Structure 1
């Protein structure tokens, strides 16, 4: 069973209908609740039921970010980052740090259904304290990528078989300023 709470809204899901009913009954005994049935929209998150699962996306939220950034008419980019981008703090400061933080924060929430922008958003998030013009250009590149892919999302379906699969990678001295190494890993519970 999974329970997501946002202020006074709840999402409850699970694979045991009896446990769900029992939990809802316990909640109802303690609080005045209203069951709205199947989930269709939760702040910034759209849920579409398909014949074999669920599709989660944030297309309206993505368009809102583009609108707020005044990039609705921007030309789409094929990737979230350019191949030659380097993230260093030694360049001209970006004048509006509040705006930078606001857009990057919005992109962080968009990552709920967009793992394809995770690395790029992580990179620009490391400079929230003192963004440069180059960092803001990287944020604009992410926004241009979103412009062309705003309807992307995650599809969850009922698997017939599952397997566990892991990947790892390391980059010696990746950080250009501190020469620190970075590494990453992904563990997948694959549904086949």
Structure 2
């Protein structure tokens, strides 16, 4: 498997949005466009992961198939879909972000996650290192606002949270730095879409 990254140029402000994308849907595109606009990013990468270590992967389609589906959904020239993590042979986000920042210090990367991910961020391997590696933005999701902000990680990183009004400056800040973005919320989820597909088939 050949490791290929989307095109890069020094100084680019690139959002990294990771997940299984099983399947990709309009909610992913909504989050990406919100982040692109509010954070003044140049590009968004959808990192199609080999599989979430915290979830059951026994019925997960291969990364290449999920990436192909994601490309059909992205429909935005600023969004690049990549499954390079499979070629890199990593399992954890901290490994991916360390690899990228070590090799591309000239790029202003920002990690993008949903409020549901912040709620469990303290369970991720190396979550404190992730926060120390690059700025990150948390996108509000229905049903997770209060739970996310009361989470162990949010409390531990409270001192490095910046005001939402400073969102366009996030990519330029030295980590740790993060913010919580409110805005129009999309309730679509891959889990719900898979459940709907199973019901329609049966």
Choose between structure 1 and 2: higher helix proportion: 2
- Higher fraction of strand: 1
TM-score normalised by length of structure 2? 0.22
Which protein is bigger by CA-based radius of gyration?
A: 1
Of structures 1 and 2, the one scoring higher in RCO (CA 8 A, sep 6+) is 2
TM-score norm. by structure 1 comes to 0.23
